[in-house]
Amino acid sequence: MIAFNLVMIVAEDLTMTYRVPVRDGGLTAALRSVVRRRYRDVHAVAQVSFAIAPGEVVGFIGPNGAGKTTTMKMLSGLLHPTSGVVRVLGFTPWQRRTPFLKQITLIRGSQPVGGSQELTVLDALEYQRLLYEVPSGEFRRNLADLTGLLELEPLLERQLRALSLGEKMRAGLALALLYGPKVLFLDEPTLGLDVSATATIRRFLAGHAARTGATILLTSHYMADVQSLCQRLILIDRGRVQYDGPLRELAARLSPYKLVRLNAPAATTDDVEPAGEIVESANGTWVLRVPRERVAQVTARLLTTLDVADLAVEEPALENVIDRAYRDGLP
Protein backbone atom coordinates (compact mmCIF):
# COMPACT_ATOMS: atom_id res chain seq x y z
CA MET A 1 0.00 0.00 0.00
CA ILE A 2 1.34 3.43 -0.95
CA ALA A 3 1.29 6.30 1.56
CA PHE A 4 -0.75 8.81 -0.43
CA ASN A 5 0.23 11.89 1.58
CA LEU A 6 3.98 11.57 0.96
CA VAL A 7 3.83 11.53 -2.77
CA MET A 8 2.86 13.80 -5.63
CA ILE A 9 1.69 11.11 -8.04
CA VAL A 10 0.29 7.72 -7.15
CA ALA A 11 -0.92 5.02 -9.48
CA GLU A 12 -2.18 1.79 -7.99
CA ASP A 13 -3.24 -1.10 -10.19
CA LEU A 14 -4.06 1.44 -12.87
CA THR A 15 -5.77 -0.26 -15.78
CA MET A 16 -7.11 1.04 -19.07
CA THR A 17 -8.96 -1.24 -21.42
CA TYR A 18 -10.32 0.04 -24.72
CA ARG A 19 -13.23 -1.69 -26.40
CA VAL A 20 -12.68 -1.52 -30.13
CA PRO A 21 -15.03 -2.69 -32.91
CA VAL A 22 -13.68 -5.48 -35.12
CA ARG A 23 -14.99 -7.29 -38.17
CA ASP A 24 -13.76 -9.64 -40.84
CA GLY A 25 -13.04 -8.37 -44.32
CA GLY A 26 -15.53 -8.56 -47.18
CA LEU A 27 -19.05 -7.44 -48.04
CA THR A 28 -20.87 -10.10 -46.00
CA ALA A 29 -18.96 -9.22 -42.86
CA ALA A 30 -19.60 -5.52 -43.49
CA LEU A 31 -23.36 -6.14 -43.80
CA ARG A 32 -23.38 -8.41 -40.76
CA SER A 33 -21.60 -5.75 -38.71
CA VAL A 34 -24.50 -3.35 -39.38
CA VAL A 35 -26.86 -5.48 -37.30
CA ARG A 36 -24.39 -7.22 -35.04
CA ARG A 37 -21.20 -5.45 -34.04
CA ARG A 38 -18.33 -7.36 -32.55
CA TYR A 39 -15.84 -5.84 -30.14
CA ARG A 40 -12.45 -6.74 -28.81
CA ASP A 41 -10.83 -5.52 -25.61
CA VAL A 42 -7.44 -3.87 -25.97
CA HIS A 43 -5.52 -3.75 -22.71
CA ALA A 44 -3.52 -0.54 -23.10
CA VAL A 45 -2.43 -0.39 -19.47
CA ALA A 46 -2.68 -3.27 -17.01
CA GLN A 47 -2.31 -2.88 -13.24
CA VAL A 48 0.38 -0.24 -13.37
CA SER A 49 1.56 0.91 -9.95
CA PHE A 50 4.14 3.50 -8.97
CA ALA A 51 4.55 6.53 -6.75
CA ILE A 52 6.49 9.71 -7.45
CA ALA A 53 7.72 11.98 -4.69
CA PRO A 54 7.67 15.79 -4.83
CA GLY A 55 10.55 17.15 -6.92
CA GLU A 56 11.40 13.85 -8.61
CA VAL A 57 12.16 13.84 -12.33
CA VAL A 58 11.19 10.44 -13.68
CA GLY A 59 11.68 9.03 -17.14
CA PHE A 60 8.74 6.95 -18.36
CA ILE A 61 9.91 4.88 -21.29
CA GLY A 62 8.76 2.00 -23.40
CA PRO A 63 8.37 0.96 -27.03
CA ASN A 64 5.57 2.31 -29.22
CA GLY A 65 2.18 1.12 -27.97
CA ALA A 66 3.55 0.25 -24.54
CA GLY A 67 0.98 2.40 -22.73
CA LYS A 68 3.06 5.49 -21.92
CA THR A 69 0.75 8.10 -23.42
CA THR A 70 -2.35 6.35 -22.10
CA THR A 71 -0.89 6.40 -18.59
CA MET A 72 0.10 10.04 -19.02
CA LYS A 73 -3.45 10.89 -20.09
CA MET A 74 -4.90 9.11 -17.07
CA LEU A 75 -2.53 10.97 -14.76
CA SER A 76 -3.38 14.34 -16.28
CA GLY A 77 -7.14 13.70 -16.27
CA LEU A 78 -7.82 13.18 -19.96
CA LEU A 79 -8.72 9.53 -19.58
CA HIS A 80 -10.91 7.79 -17.05
CA PRO A 81 -9.17 4.57 -15.97
CA THR A 82 -11.09 1.33 -16.37
CA SER A 83 -9.98 0.37 -12.88
CA GLY A 84 -7.36 1.18 -10.27
CA VAL A 85 -6.52 4.25 -8.25
CA VAL A 86 -4.82 7.40 -9.46
CA ARG A 87 -4.08 10.47 -7.36
CA VAL A 88 -2.09 13.52 -8.38
CA LEU A 89 -1.51 16.28 -5.84
CA GLY A 90 -4.20 14.59 -3.77
CA PHE A 91 -6.79 14.96 -6.54
CA THR A 92 -8.50 12.37 -8.69
CA PRO A 93 -7.35 13.60 -12.11
CA TRP A 94 -10.33 12.62 -14.28
CA GLN A 95 -12.62 14.83 -12.18
CA ARG A 96 -10.59 17.77 -13.56
CA ARG A 97 -11.24 20.10 -10.63
CA THR A 98 -10.07 23.67 -11.22
CA PRO A 99 -7.52 23.68 -8.33
CA PHE A 100 -5.99 20.52 -9.81
CA LEU A 101 -5.86 21.89 -13.35
CA LYS A 102 -4.14 25.04 -12.10
CA GLN A 103 -1.28 22.98 -10.69
CA ILE A 104 -0.50 20.63 -13.53
CA THR A 105 0.47 20.83 -17.16
CA LEU A 106 0.64 18.31 -19.98
CA ILE A 107 2.99 19.16 -22.81
CA ARG A 108 2.81 17.00 -25.90
CA GLY A 109 5.61 17.16 -28.42
CA SER A 110 3.10 16.33 -31.16
CA GLN A 111 0.93 19.36 -30.24
CA PRO A 112 3.08 21.81 -28.29
CA VAL A 113 0.58 24.67 -28.52
CA GLY A 114 -3.16 24.12 -28.40
CA GLY A 115 -6.03 26.43 -29.20
CA SER A 116 -6.07 29.35 -31.58
CA GLN A 117 -2.98 29.69 -33.73
CA GLU A 118 -3.77 33.20 -34.94
CA LEU A 119 -2.70 34.98 -31.75
CA THR A 120 0.78 36.30 -31.17
CA VAL A 121 2.86 34.55 -28.54
CA LEU A 122 2.50 37.59 -26.27
CA ASP A 123 -1.31 37.66 -26.68
CA ALA A 124 -1.42 33.95 -25.90
CA LEU A 125 0.69 34.47 -22.78
CA GLU A 126 -1.56 37.32 -21.69
CA TYR A 127 -4.61 35.11 -22.22
CA GLN A 128 -2.94 32.41 -20.15
CA ARG A 129 -2.34 34.96 -17.36
CA LEU A 130 -6.03 35.79 -17.23
CA LEU A 131 -7.14 32.18 -17.52
CA TYR A 132 -4.91 30.99 -14.68
CA GLU A 133 -5.39 34.21 -12.67
CA VAL A 134 -1.66 34.88 -12.36
CA PRO A 135 -1.08 38.12 -10.40
CA SER A 136 0.45 40.89 -12.54
CA GLY A 137 3.74 41.05 -10.61
CA GLU A 138 4.24 37.29 -10.79
CA PHE A 139 3.31 37.34 -14.49
CA ARG A 140 5.94 39.97 -15.26
CA ARG A 141 8.60 38.09 -13.30
CA ASN A 142 7.76 34.72 -14.87
CA LEU A 143 7.54 36.22 -18.34
CA ALA A 144 10.95 37.86 -17.97
CA ASP A 145 12.48 34.61 -16.69
CA LEU A 146 10.90 32.45 -19.39
CA THR A 147 11.75 34.94 -22.13
CA GLY A 148 15.40 34.82 -21.11
CA LEU A 149 15.64 31.08 -20.58
CA LEU A 150 13.71 30.06 -23.69
CA GLU A 151 15.07 32.85 -25.91
CA LEU A 152 11.52 34.03 -26.58
CA GLU A 153 12.21 37.70 -27.30
CA PRO A 154 12.17 37.38 -31.11
CA LEU A 155 9.00 35.26 -30.97
CA LEU A 156 6.77 37.39 -28.74
CA GLU A 157 5.19 39.42 -31.51
CA ARG A 158 4.84 36.56 -33.97
CA GLN A 159 1.68 34.53 -34.57
CA LEU A 160 1.72 31.00 -33.19
CA ARG A 161 0.83 29.49 -36.56
CA ALA A 162 3.93 31.04 -38.15
CA LEU A 163 6.39 29.44 -35.71
CA SER A 164 8.64 26.51 -36.55
CA LEU A 165 8.23 23.30 -34.51
CA GLY A 166 11.16 24.19 -32.24
CA GLU A 167 9.81 27.70 -31.71
CA LYS A 168 6.35 26.29 -31.01
CA MET A 169 7.80 24.03 -28.35
CA ARG A 170 9.57 26.96 -26.70
CA ALA A 171 6.35 28.99 -26.81
CA GLY A 172 4.38 25.95 -25.57
CA LEU A 173 6.73 25.56 -22.61
CA ALA A 174 6.38 29.24 -21.75
CA LEU A 175 2.57 28.99 -21.92
CA ALA A 176 2.58 25.82 -19.83
CA LEU A 177 4.95 27.09 -17.15
CA LEU A 178 3.75 30.67 -16.87
CA TYR A 179 1.44 29.83 -13.95
CA GLY A 180 4.04 27.72 -12.14
CA PRO A 181 2.51 24.22 -12.25
CA LYS A 182 3.80 21.83 -9.60
CA VAL A 183 3.51 18.73 -11.76
CA LEU A 184 4.69 18.53 -15.37
CA PHE A 185 3.71 15.70 -17.69
CA LEU A 186 6.01 15.88 -20.68
CA ASP A 187 5.03 13.60 -23.54
CA GLU A 188 7.97 13.46 -25.94
CA PRO A 189 8.86 17.14 -25.65
CA THR A 190 11.75 16.93 -28.12
CA LEU A 191 9.83 15.02 -30.80
CA GLY A 192 10.91 16.15 -34.26
CA LEU A 193 13.24 18.90 -33.03
CA ASP A 194 16.68 19.53 -34.47
CA VAL A 195 19.86 19.07 -32.42
CA SER A 196 20.06 22.68 -31.35
CA ALA A 197 16.40 22.99 -30.35
CA THR A 198 16.58 19.68 -28.51
CA ALA A 199 19.61 20.88 -26.55
CA THR A 200 17.82 24.13 -25.65
CA ILE A 201 14.75 22.27 -24.38
CA ARG A 202 16.84 19.77 -22.40
CA ARG A 203 18.90 22.54 -20.82
CA PHE A 204 15.78 24.46 -19.96
CA LEU A 205 13.97 21.49 -18.42
CA ALA A 206 16.96 20.47 -16.32
CA GLY A 207 17.28 24.04 -15.07
CA HIS A 208 13.55 24.37 -14.45
CA ALA A 209 13.45 21.19 -12.38
CA ALA A 210 16.41 22.34 -10.30
CA ARG A 211 15.07 25.89 -9.85
CA THR A 212 11.44 25.16 -9.04
CA GLY A 213 11.47 21.67 -7.55
CA ALA A 214 8.62 20.71 -9.88
CA THR A 215 7.73 17.05 -10.19
CA ILE A 216 8.28 15.86 -13.73
CA LEU A 217 7.20 12.71 -15.54
CA LEU A 218 8.83 12.53 -18.95
CA THR A 219 8.26 10.18 -21.83
CA SER A 220 10.73 10.20 -24.69
CA HIS A 221 12.11 7.88 -27.31
CA TYR A 222 15.40 9.78 -27.14
CA MET A 223 17.50 8.23 -24.45
CA ALA A 224 19.65 11.36 -24.30
CA ASP A 225 16.57 13.20 -22.95
CA VAL A 226 16.13 10.62 -20.24
CA GLN A 227 19.83 10.46 -19.44
CA SER A 228 20.22 14.20 -19.13
CA LEU A 229 17.10 14.76 -17.01
CA CYS A 230 16.12 11.67 -15.05
CA GLN A 231 17.70 9.79 -12.19
CA ARG A 232 14.85 7.34 -12.05
CA LEU A 233 13.33 5.32 -14.83
CA ILE A 234 10.04 3.51 -15.17
CA LEU A 235 10.03 1.09 -18.06
CA ILE A 236 6.67 -0.02 -19.32
CA ASP A 237 5.96 -2.63 -21.96
CA ARG A 238 2.68 -4.17 -23.15
CA GLY A 239 0.89 -2.08 -20.54
CA ARG A 240 2.86 -3.37 -17.56
CA VAL A 241 5.70 -1.86 -15.55
CA GLN A 242 8.83 -3.88 -16.26
CA TYR A 243 11.30 -1.83 -14.28
CA ASP A 244 11.14 1.00 -11.76
CA GLY A 245 14.40 2.22 -10.28
CA PRO A 246 17.62 4.14 -10.84
CA LEU A 247 18.78 4.53 -14.43
CA ARG A 248 22.29 3.19 -13.76
CA GLU A 249 20.93 0.02 -12.17
CA LEU A 250 18.85 -0.69 -15.25
CA ALA A 251 21.92 -0.25 -17.43
CA ALA A 252 23.90 -2.62 -15.23
CA ARG A 253 21.08 -5.15 -15.14
CA LEU A 254 20.51 -5.11 -18.85
CA SER A 255 24.10 -5.04 -19.89
CA PRO A 256 26.45 -7.29 -17.92
CA TYR A 257 29.27 -5.93 -20.11
CA LYS A 258 31.30 -2.77 -20.30
CA LEU A 259 33.22 -1.44 -23.24
CA VAL A 260 37.01 -1.09 -23.00
CA ARG A 261 38.34 1.37 -25.58
CA LEU A 262 42.02 0.78 -26.13
CA ASN A 263 44.51 2.70 -28.27
CA ALA A 264 47.55 0.51 -28.86
CA PRO A 265 48.98 1.10 -32.38
CA ALA A 266 51.54 -1.70 -32.15
CA ALA A 267 49.11 -4.36 -30.91
CA THR A 268 47.77 -7.15 -33.11
CA THR A 269 44.43 -8.96 -33.05
CA ASP A 270 46.10 -11.92 -31.38
CA ASP A 271 47.36 -9.66 -28.59
CA VAL A 272 43.95 -8.12 -27.92
CA GLU A 273 41.49 -10.94 -28.55
CA PRO A 274 42.06 -12.89 -25.32
CA ALA A 275 40.99 -9.81 -23.32
CA GLY A 276 37.44 -9.77 -24.63
CA GLU A 277 35.15 -9.76 -27.64
CA ILE A 278 36.33 -7.26 -30.25
CA VAL A 279 33.43 -4.97 -31.17
CA GLU A 280 35.33 -2.45 -33.28
CA SER A 281 38.87 -2.01 -34.54
CA ALA A 282 40.37 0.72 -36.65
CA ASN A 283 43.72 2.56 -36.84
CA GLY A 284 45.16 0.95 -33.73
CA THR A 285 42.04 1.57 -31.66
CA TRP A 286 40.10 -1.41 -30.34
CA VAL A 287 36.78 -1.61 -28.59
CA LEU A 288 36.33 -4.73 -26.47
CA ARG A 289 33.21 -6.07 -24.79
CA VAL A 290 34.24 -7.28 -21.35
CA PRO A 291 32.08 -8.78 -18.57
CA ARG A 292 31.67 -6.21 -15.78
CA GLU A 293 33.33 -8.42 -13.14
CA ARG A 294 36.42 -8.88 -15.31
CA VAL A 295 36.98 -5.23 -16.26
CA ALA A 296 39.58 -4.45 -13.58
CA GLN A 297 41.54 -7.60 -14.27
CA VAL A 298 41.45 -7.13 -18.06
CA THR A 299 42.50 -3.48 -18.02
CA ALA A 300 45.40 -4.27 -15.66
CA ARG A 301 46.55 -7.03 -17.99
CA LEU A 302 46.28 -4.89 -21.10
CA LEU A 303 48.26 -2.08 -19.49
CA THR A 304 51.05 -4.41 -18.43
CA THR A 305 51.32 -6.53 -21.58
CA LEU A 306 50.79 -3.95 -24.33
CA ASP A 307 52.21 -0.57 -25.25
CA VAL A 308 48.99 1.35 -24.52
CA ALA A 309 48.66 4.99 -25.63
CA ASP A 310 45.16 5.41 -24.17
CA LEU A 311 42.56 3.31 -22.41
CA ALA A 312 39.00 4.10 -21.35
CA VAL A 313 36.19 2.07 -19.82
CA GLU A 314 32.71 3.00 -21.03
CA GLU A 315 29.12 2.04 -20.32
CA PRO A 316 27.38 0.72 -23.42
CA ALA A 317 25.13 3.32 -25.10
CA LEU A 318 21.80 3.52 -23.30
CA GLU A 319 20.03 3.35 -26.66
CA ASN A 320 21.48 -0.13 -27.19
CA VAL A 321 20.64 -1.24 -23.67
CA ILE A 322 17.03 -0.10 -23.91
CA ASP A 323 16.69 -1.55 -27.39
CA ARG A 324 17.69 -4.90 -25.94
CA ALA A 325 15.14 -4.52 -23.16
CA TYR A 326 12.39 -3.71 -25.68
CA ARG A 327 13.28 -6.66 -27.88
CA ASP A 328 14.17 -9.34 -25.33
CA GLY A 329 12.48 -8.15 -22.16
CA LEU A 330 14.21 -7.74 -18.85
CA PRO A 331 16.29 -10.60 -17.48
Partner 1 sequence: MNRALRLTALRVRRQFLDWSGGWWFTLTLVANEAIGPLVGLFVWSTVFPDDRRVISYFVALIAVQLMTASYENHTFSETVYQGTVSHELLKPQPVIVNPIGENLAIRIWMTLFGLPLTVLTGLGLGSSYRWPDLLLAIPALACAAILRFLFTWILALTAFWTERVHAVVTFGSVLISLLGGAAAPISLLPAPWRAIAVALPFHAMLGLPADIATGAVDGPAAAVALARGLAWILVFTALAVVVWRSGIRRYTAVGA
Show the binding pattern over residues 231-270: x = contacts partner 1 (CB under 8 A), - = does not.
----------------------------------------
| Residue 311, strand partner residues | 262
Closest approach of partner 1 to the CB of residue 116, in Å: 5
CB of 148 to partner 1, least distance (A): 26
Give the separation between CA 166 and CA 107, rounded to whole angstroms: 13
Q: How many residues bind partner 1 (CB under 8 A)?
A: 28
Of 101, 122, 165, 287, the residue at the interface with partner 1 (CB under 8 A) is 101
Q: Does 91 bind partner 1 (CB under 8 A)?
A: no
Name the CA dihedral angle for 214, 125, 192, 202, rounded to a multiple of 10 degrees. Answer: -30
User: Of the listed pieces 1-9, 98-106, 194-202, 260-268, which binds partner 1 according to CB under 8 A?
Assistant: 98-106
Residue 276 contacts partner 1 per CB under 8 A:
no
Q: How many CA atoms lie within 13 A of 100 on its CB side?
A: 18
What minimum distance in Å lies between the beta carbon of 37 and partner 1? 13
Terminal-residue alpha carbon distance, the chain: 26
In the bound state with partner 1, the residue whose beta carbon lies nearer, of 78 and 317, is 78
In whole angstroms, give the CA distance from residue 181 to residue 37: 44
- What gap in Å lies between CA 133 and CA 103, rounded to an integer? 12
Q: Cβ of residue 198: shortest distance to partner 1, in angstroms?
A: 23
Burial 254-283 (b: 16+ CB within 10 A, else e): bbebbbbebebeebeeeebeebbeeeeeee
Q: Among 123, 145, 315, 323, which residue sits at the site for partner 1 (rule: CB under 8 A)?
A: 123
Between 116 and 164, whose beta carbon lies closer to partner 1?
116
Stretch 25-84 residues interacting with partner 1 (CB under 8 A): 70, 73, 76-80, 82
The arrangement of strands across the sheet holding 257-263 comes to 277-282, 285-291, 257-263, 310-314
* Distance (Å) of CA 227 to CA 37, 90, 219, 224, 271: 46, 29, 12, 5, 35
How far is Cα 85 from Cα 83, in angstroms, rounded to an integer? Answer: 7
Of 124, 298, 291, 141, the C-alpha closest to 212 is 141
Nearer to partner 1, 35 or 130 (CB): 130
Least distance (Å) from partner 1 to the CB of residue 28? Answer: 24
Q: Which is nearer to partner 1, 31 or 130 (CB)?
A: 130
Q: Which is nearer to partner 1, 50 or 185 (CB)?
A: 185
When the beta carbons of 106 and 235 are compared against partner 1, the nearer one is 106
Q: How far is the CB of 215 from partner 1 (least distance, A)?
A: 17
Q: Closest CB to partner 1 among 131 and 210? A: 131
What SS3 state is found at 110? coil
23 sits near partner 1 (criterion: CB under 8 A): no
- Concatenate the DSSP letters of all residues of 223-277 into one string: HHHHHHH-SEEEEEETTEEEEEEEHHHHHHHH--EEEEEEE-TT--HHHHGGGSE
Query: Which stretches of the chain bind partner 1, using CB under 8 A?
Result: 18, 70, 73, 76-80, 82, 94, 96, 98, 101-102, 104-106, 111, 114-116, 118-119, 123, 127, 130-132
